[in-house]
Structure 1
Amino acid sequence: MKEAREYGRRHKMDIIAIRRARNVIQAGFVARSAGAMKGMYSLAATLAGQLGDSWLAAWRIAPDEPRYALVAVLDGAIIPNADLVASAADVQKRVAQLLSRSITFDAMFLPEEFGLGGQLLDIEALLQPGNLKREYALRPLAFGMSTGEWVKVGVLGLAVTAGAVGYLQWQAHKQEVARRAAAAAEAARLAELQALSQRSGEQLPVQALEHPWAKRPGVATFLQTCNGAIDRLPLAIAGWRFTSAQCDGVLLSTNYRREGNSTAVDFLAATEGHFADQPAFFDEGNGAALKLTFEPPLAGDDELLEASPALADLTSWLHGQGLAPTIKEMAVVVPMPEPLPGQPAPQAPPPPDFKHFELSFNTALPPAIVLQGIPNQGLRLREIKTLLQSDQLAWSVTGDLYVK
């Protein structure tokens, strides 16, 4: 009891409520200055002793009083911070928080104005003198639990009422939720790594999950996929003329323009079964967009080169082809890991171990021709575009170079 008195003295609390639930002893404190005295009863403990092991209750404390009371019990123990008296808005917010968790209450007693269903609580009937047992009574801290009982309490907290607040089972529930979330997150990481390994044709290290180049096709594969698909597009379909296309290695989008007396019906019939979905018409039915989708193999987790020699080699090669690339360094942002339920925010991830440069250039020749033999270690293409201008195709290329 010495520990209890010290705890009460530190927090200026001199009245204690003790409740022995099925698997845990709970204790709550309140001060005499708040109006509590020996002979009163703990509201939360009184209700918990009558309504069962799993329930949520809220009610207006008096017809002329704007405040509401809230008590929630799970597995026979009072949930911490769920025995309180507050405004309607605060109690509704707390009820919503409780219901948003992975908790199922066997019974809910909620007022009609909350609009959440449930039964109405007859609080006056529950607080009849015949229902007030000695075990629900408040006690001065001069008496109360034995030292052995105090040790069993384990977790103590302050409550705005004399309800119990130390709740070991709720803590265990949160820890189990966090453990399952961590296991699910790790399983998802391993599944993603396995999928990347299958598409790259080699077993990748777990570090590959943090490397964007490991999740993309190599230069040759990208060109074969995108430039090859663009080359196979007809210049005209049922009187509709090709105007442009762009491809990012996963999705190719192409536009056609209606000419003469051609119709949307003819275009629909001619493209059916040849593209990922039906054409999307725009510009009052004079334009149409088509799509193709791909899942090319990935290049794997390249060992990166040092920045200076890699940039020198790449720019020299491009200049030798008569190209004028624009190259700029991009900020590398490492995303924060998602916090696990009930756990503190994770520490910031370490800084990235690579640099990222974006390159872009225009060319009159197809990229599949102009980029043959390009130094490609750490290089990935992001997008190629082509536009029909004066019966000639103009091309633009965007890529990413990753270096140490």
Structure 2
Amino acid sequence: MARRKSIDTSIADRQKIGTFVLNGRTFVSGLHWETLDNVSSFMKEARSKGRQWGMDVVATRKGVDLRSKGKSAKYQAGYAPKNRGAAKGMYSLASVLASEFGSNWIGAFRIEEERYALAAVVDGSIVPSADRIGTLSEIREELGANFSHLAGSGVLFEHVIAPPEFEFGDKQVDLASLLVASKLKPEHRLKPLTLGLSKGELFRLILFAAIIIAGGSLYILYQARQEEMLRRADQAQKAARSRAEALLNIKPPPPAPPPPWLGSAKLTDTVAACSAAFDKLPLVLGGWVFEKASCNAGGALSAAYKRGQLATANSVLSAADAAGLPLDFYDAGESGVVNVLIQMPSASSEELLAEKQVMARLVSHFQAADVKFPLQKQAVPETPPGEEPTTSKPTWSTYTFEIVTQMPPVSLLEGLAADGLRAETVAVSLDGDAARLTWTINGALYVR
């Protein structure tokens, strides 16, 4: 009987496998690379060596020295054990990069902050000592050591790749732009060294199948009983429905529409919040002059600025940045707009007052201030003929309004009972010639 070869795990025990996820794929570095001698059956040789070293997964590649026009080719295998973090389906970073930069190159690549990868190719083959992931200092040291050793051996590099912080190299490469799906090929992926299932996997598969069969039998019995119970319940439900329809022959009324005023604060609270935010806006921003601003009940505030004489885009950007205001340009760079979100007061859930209680008092308040308060009653939408209404008719009336005034709105609304009043937008504009602000408030009144 032939003696089984002993397994030497010393190589696997020393491996430092590193992995990272980029563009939805997992990449691995730190493989143990070996040149394969048997070109015609390289995979058989790769499996034999891998089992001898106690490895679990392997990536194989054909390294071609492009300077020989394809005549010089070597097969390589990169190994890793599963207990070090490598798994089948991962992509070998060194294998992917080896297909990109020619026959002779060395490089460091930034993965994320304080994490870098090292890879190198000489005569079309991956350099085993240069498949690593580590910190900036570790990879900088290994890059220099590999470069010195290889260059001292007479290797002429076509490219030396490194990020700017290495202060070393003639080009830099962004891995996120390079490691896209079109660059990833099947030969770059790790494959299991053993075909079929291990004893543990086979046992788990048999156990799983037994559970499925037993569970399936129980489910069939359970399903038959459930179907019988459902059939009887359905018959009883149909009989009850038939009796109810025969007795009533009516449909339940549609639900009431949602009250629109419950989702926002009272008019006076919304106006106060918007006015306070407007007061914080600078009238002049880097030589650009305030034109107008608007604020809605959701807290979205927008302010427009117009370029002043001799002012520039850079001046307003610097001023906006100093004020903590995000600014975008429009009108060919002659105007700018600031868009921010402000904190709005809590929504109010007051009970609505009767229309007769509200109208005279509300109109009188604005008449006393000599400000027009036009109210437009909104008609209730009719259900089209032949269609069922989705909601019942509302129990309230809705009036819309637009207030235009040069009086500060907080002062205008002082003392106003705001039950049922809501603001949709509050806007202010500046007449530069007259040095005058005009306020516009659009909103709605809800009454019983």
What TM-score, normalized by structure 1, do the two folds share?
0.44
Structure number with higher relative contact order (C-alpha < 8 Å, ≥ 6 residues apart): 1
Bigger Cα Rg: 2
